[in-house]
Structure 1
């Protein structure tokens, strides 16, 4: 059996891939929920402790500084459960996102394999001379497609997650169902897709680079004897995520700022969130003008801290869930009939 067939066989059936992606998303979300709340709070903050006293808007809400101090401040003022604010829509988001992402990634990979092949020089003339470039390019395209499809399909849940995490003790939304009804009534269907533009602009290069780096590093690290407990996939996922996250972080911050626009903008824990006009580029310019370059990277540290365990748990769980569902034969009999 050829290496290509072995690779495709290991990808599992469509149902196995979907179930493994959903399982990975579910577990990863619960683990990193507190860091996600801290990241969102920092991203929505337009001022910091290093700003001169005369320029601080104290009435605008709390001033957070650093990951652990922010976590302690939230615990002190809002209690332990505040670190899991927005966890219900976020769990739904991660499960649906993981399922759509990995399913699309698998489908796109299989399509690219069928159209372009693996680029093995032994396959004959017309193949590229650098076989490692083609798998990386395929992973980039498939990863970008998976990220874009998952972002668009689950975006309303992402917006709800952000708004719940941005709430302080004064609750803007009493429940998930009321939030859906209120947003639909006050902002219409388009209200659920505020910030989708920068979301797609961020996720396409992010997931493309992530999967390209992950698929390149995983085979190397999986055979590394120095990594215990078969943790090569987790390490590869961590490295790939940190590199991709840093490059696309400003677009993620812009997305968060736009998501809390609308009639409830002044009711979140940060009551001085600016009102932004125009699209993604205009918002980037406004933040640069008012907050400087540093303003585009508020929350980057906790985002990188979050990215490491999130991606490590996601990819580690995905690989093992895929193998487990494969041993159970999930979806095999149905696909065999098809």
Structure 2
């Protein structure tokens, strides 16, 4: 059996590779989630606002690239890689041993969906408690160019970490931990447990083998479920991390509901699905190949 270090490193590599490929979609998603209802802007004002007012994913990406430069789409890539190395490596690397713990021994044959969900919830919580500071810095860097957020002007990821600690205290690195734990536990369960379940289900169907096509379908299914289930807590997490005026998770939730309506919790849904769907496909395809080659 492969060592935990080998499994952790292969998981971290797959997660980091998927992050680099999909972070422009994540930047667009964060900008869309941070949008709040405002008086209508004139076309000229909207053009200079640094985001696509009322626009969708593609419009937001084009507007960010035009107003802030193409490199702005990769804002947050460094803490994003920090996050995926820690969070991706831990949540995926711990999944099999934690699943074995819940079933009471070595995993042999089919495992119940409940055991898979419990294992994924557990590893999602453990991993994000460690990785929350990297998530906070990533969101702040991605939000920094938006017109109606606080301009912090961090020069980079390391500068952001040090500035937050100096100005807000080390505890501020765990801002948004509540919704982040909820979001990542839920999404991790939706991703890992559903990928595991979809793959198990497909392999029982005639004509399906443990190949790239099966991994692709299972990854798409996992990504879609993750977005449907996790979007509301993802929006609250992004808003709390991007705007420090919220007093708590409940405060952010109620203000978002009151000021922007229920639809706000699915803002950036298309960007989120493009991001998480493609992220899952790339990550699981990479992970399966890396594990097959090295482990």
Q: Does the aligned pair in 1 maintain the 2:100–2:106 contact within 8 Å?
A: no
Q: In structure 1, the residue corresponding to 2:144 is in which secondary structure? A: coil
Structure 1 counterpart of 2:289, from 306, 317, 320:
320
Query: Is 1:139 aligned to residue 116 of structure 2?
Result: yes
Query: Is 1:207 aligned to residue 197 of structure 2?
Result: no
Could you say if the C-alpha distance between residues 220 and 44 of structure 1 is closer, same or farther in structure 2, counting changes exceeding 3 Å?
same
- Which range moved further: 107-116 or 92-101? 107-116
Could you say if the C-alpha distance between residues 227 and 44 of structure 1 is closer, same or farther in structure 2, counting changes exceeding 3 Å?
farther
In structure 1, what is the equivalent of residue 256 of structure 2? 287
Deviation at 1:248, TM superposition (A): 2.0
Where do residues 76-95 of structure 1 align in structure 2 (5 Å cutoff)? 76-95=66-85
Deviation at 1:15, TM superposition (A): 2.3
Structure 2 CA distance for aligned equivalents of residues 75 and 226 of structure 1: 42
Where do residues 1-338 of structure 1 align in structure 2 (5 Å cutoff)? 12-47=2-37, 62=51, 63=53, 65-114=55-104, 134-168=111-145, 172-222=153-203, 225=207, 230-262=212-244, 275-277=245-247, 279-326=248-295
Deviation at 1:24, TM superposition (A): 0.6
Normalising by structure 1, report the TM-score: 0.77
C-alpha deviations, 1:5-57, integer Å up to 9, x for none?
A: xxxx5xx3312211210111111001101101101111111137xx7569xx9
Structure 1 CA distance for aligned equivalents of residues 106 and 208 of structure 2: 35
Q: Does the aligned pair in 2 maintain the 1:89–1:160 contact within 8 Å?
A: yes
Q: How many residues are treated as equivalent by the alignment?
A: 286
Deviation at 1:60, TM superposition (A): 7.3
Unaligned runs of 5+ in 1: 1-8, 121-131, 263-274, 327-338
Q: In structure 2, the residue corresponding to 1:231 is in which secondary structure? A: helix
Structure 1 CA distance for aligned equivalents of residues 58 and 206 of structure 2: 33
Structure 2 CA distance for aligned equivalents of residues 40 and 202 of structure 1: 14
Deviation at 1:284, TM superposition (A): 1.1
Normalising by structure 2, report the TM-score: 0.88
CA RMSD of aligned residues (A): 2.6
Q: Which has the larger radius of gyration?
A: 1
- Which range moved further: 138-147 or 165-174? 165-174
Could you say if the C-alpha distance between residues 180 and 230 of structure 1 is closer, same or farther in structure 2, counting changes exceeding 3 Å?
closer
C-alpha deviations, 1:234-277, integer Å up to 9, x for none?
A: 22122122112212211111111111234xxxxxxxxxxxx323
C-alpha deviations, 1:304-327, integer Å up to 9, x for none?
A: 11111100111111111111112x
